[in-house]
């Protein structure tokens, strides 16, 4: 399994739609087999967050209706020409301010993990998640 790709900063504005593509390669740059794998992604206060300090969770074994109206896994695991990739879907409702327990704009921590078909765990991405404020991303202001 691959080691983590560290210091991977993700940046978005509150209430936006973001699709993040993450190629999964080993430390030598070779393809890693992800057939039958499950991927998970978290965004929270810091690397030791638990419970209500974890604001967004995504999983390849859970579907969601994305902002484009298509129902798909929250994280797709796709085979591309030269590598397997994770495709993470962040929707408007994940970061709209003033909506339930959504996080306020600031800098957080994010992490992605893959469990392969043999049950091996690997953290494949970590870094900062910067959520910027946006007038249109505030539920009180509507669309």
The pLDDT tens digits for 36-55 are 999 999 999 999 999 999 99
The tokens for 80 are: 């591309």
The pLDDT tens digits for 110-123 are 999 999 988 989 99
How far apart, in whole angstroms, are the C-alpha atoms of residue 107 and residue 123? Answer: 20
CA dist 62 → 59, 71, 72, 132, 141 (Å)? 6, 10, 8, 27, 30
pTM of the model: 0.89
CATH topology of domain 10-138: Immunoglobulin-like (2.60.40)
């Amino acid at each position: 399994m691959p080691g983590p790709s560290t210091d991977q900063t993700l940046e978005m504005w509150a209430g936006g739609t973001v699709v993040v593509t993450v190629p999964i390669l080993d430390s030598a740059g070779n393809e890693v087999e992800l057939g039958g794998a499950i991927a998970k992604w978290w965004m929270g206060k810091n690397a030791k967050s638990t419970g209500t300090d974890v604001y967004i969770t995504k999983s390849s074994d859970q579907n969601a209706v994305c902002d484009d109206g298509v129902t798909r896994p929250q994280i797709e695991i796709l085979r591309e020409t030269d590598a397997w990739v994770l495709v993470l879907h962040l929707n408007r409702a994940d970061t709209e301010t003033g909506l339930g327990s959504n996080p306020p704009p600031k800098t957080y921590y994010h992490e992605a993990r893959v469990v392969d078909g043999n049950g091996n765990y690997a953290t494949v991405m970590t870094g900062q998640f910067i959520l910027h404020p946006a007038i249109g991303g505030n539920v009180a202001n509507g669309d």
